[in-house]
A = this chain, B = another copy of it.
Amino acid sequence: MESVRLGIIGIGNMGTAHSLHIHADRKVPGMVLSAVCDISEERLAWANEHLPGVAVFDQASDMYQSGLIDAVLIAVPHYDHPALATLAFANGLHVLVEKPAGVYTKQVLEMNAAAEEAGKVFGIMYNQRTNPVYQKVRELIQSGELGSLKRVVWIITNWYRPQAYHDSGSWRSTWKGEGGGTLINQNPHNLDLLQWMLGMPSRIRSFCSFGKYYDIEVEDDVTAYLEYPNGASGVYITSTGEAPGTNRLEISGDMGRIVVENNRISFDRNRISERKHNHINTEPFKAPESWYVEIPVSGDGGEQHIGILKNFTNAILHGEKLLAPGEEGVYGLLISNAIHYSTWTDSWAVLDSFDHDHFHELLQERINNSTVQKNVSQKVSDVRGSH
């Protein structure tokens, strides 16, 4: 195979951007846009005009079976990701899925099983993994520079979205249309980065507010307490109701404290580990000597979506390792689901024994009991929330 022939399903906000990057700007060497699919006539007309030479389809299965594509990029609303991915695998296609992997873990685990059976390349658009800042933090942790994890606090409240945003799509900010609020729409990248850098927490106790700031039924304010397998604790705070909001990530370990803010990394680094200091020290008020370090970070935010597309292409053509394997989409979603679940049940969510079926039931209850007077269409074309 000399090049990957891609089909994009869903040419809304994200699909449109991807199509232009690949087709018009040729930003992804080895990748050719061969087909697009949407159920909106308006979007298909747009494709015919702006994507010359690209086949257009209004049915996913037709595109999948056309023989025109080797791989599909799925950029439809969240709920439809797993089913369309599973169908693609059944048609022998490689799959790159937009985030989130899905809305509830039960469907995503089924997608992952289909992926494993198919043996195709399966990626997820976790473009924030290309950000050198988070790559560096991850490396500092995994290399042992920070020492054993003690605490993480991520205040990520700069996701301000006014009422006008929630009113801008009939499916937006509804249980039926999105399956959640800011956890499922704005926060999937952050939740993935959290587990990518630190691994999975073992249990979660959360405090979500639903429609606290806006006339919506889903969560717009979240505080979650996390516990990790080694006993470390964490707090994850997000909201769409605060302006100007904060994005500050603090990670404490035995060797000191890392703070990420304004895309810069500082590291207050202990000269010897705190645990070692504590063992040999005899003075009641003495802390280990600590040095303030500014950690250099190369690149300016990373290649983002283009980087993921290149990596996906090279994985298919040359066996390059995926930066964001599709199967890993379930991790951030499990944290997200667990945060919902803990608040809904006013109890702990234990991740190792998470009740995927019960979560799905509780989500379905909320869909069934919804009183939102929006005409939710779940159109494949409308992906404006899939950032």
Contact = CB atoms under 8 A, between A and B. Distances in A.
Given A225-B225, A250-B246, A252-B242, A287 B257 contact: no
A133 B131 CA distance: 37
Nearest to A256: B244
Contacts of A155: 153, 250
Nearest to A242: B252
A167 B148 CA distance: 24
B286 A257 contact: no
A244 B290 contact: yes
Interface string A254-290: 0011000000000010100010011101111111101
Q: How many identical subunits does the complex contain?
A: 2
A278 B168 CA distance: 14
Contacts of A212: 231
A65 interface: no
Nearest to A165: B284
A235 interface: yes
Contacts of A257: 242, 244-246
Contact of A270 (B163, B233, B243): B243
A241 interface: yes
Contact of A244 (B241, B246, B270): B270
A207 B243 CA distance: 28
A241 B287 CA distance: 10
A162 interface: yes
A239 interface: yes
Interface in A158-182: 160-165, 168
27 contacts: A151-B242, A153-B153, A153-B155, A157-B252, A160-B287, A161-B284, A161-B285, A162-B278, A162-B283, A162-B287, A163-B278, A163-B281, A164-B281, A164-B284, A165-B284, A168-B284, A213-B278, A214-B278, A223-B225, A241-B274, A242-B274, A243-B274, A243-B290, A244-B256, A244-B287, A245-B252, A246-B252
**3 closest A-B pairs by CB:** A165-B284, A244-B290, A243-B274
